[in-house]
Amino acid sequence: MKKITISCIIAVLLLALVSCSSQKEAKSVAWSGEVKKFNIRAFQFGYEPDTIEVNLGDKVVINAHTSDVPHGLALPDFGVNMKLTGEDSVRAEFIADKAGEFEWYCSIPCGRGHGSMRGKLIVRDVENEN
């Protein structure tokens, strides 16, 4: 009897938790037809360029390489985690399906300045800016 009561209480609490939780409605963003390409060079301890801008719905193509030691370029908001281990470029592609400012960072320890290796992707929602 005690197990049934505890199970019922847990079930009611879970149901209440699920029904009260605020869920964001996923906004589907279609590809705008625009392709924005960027060549990014990683070096101790930065990126060139360190800021890139696109519009919401653009297809973003990043070709990145390192000019010295192994580096990474991680942009988790868009599922990107590039391993840059040589002069050859590594390519990542994604649709900029959310607006805002998103930080990328070096995902491979590369020395004392590793923590300062940051960059920024700015995705503008031009339809809703005005």
> Which tens digit of pLDDT belongs to each residue from 53-83?
999 999 999 999 998 999 999 999 999 999 9
Q: Coil, helix or strand for 115?
A: helix
pLDDT band at residue 21 using 50, 70 and 90 as cut-offs = very low
> Which tens digit of pLDDT belongs to each residue from 84-102?
998 789 999 999 999 999 9
Average pLDDT over residues 98-127: 95
Q: In terms of pLDDT, which residue wins out, 6 or 17?
A: 6
Full-model pTM:
0.75
Confirm if 107 and 73 have CB atoms less than 8 A apart: yes
In this model, does residue 23 exceed pLDDT 50?
no
For residue 66, the tally of other CB atoms under 10 A from its CB is 25
For the domain spanning 35-128, the CATH number is 2.60.40.420
Amino acid identity, position 96 = A
Average pLDDT over residues 107-117: 94
Give the whole-angstrom CA distance, residue 54 versus residue 122.
Answer: 6
* DSSP H or E segment with residue 8: helix 2-20
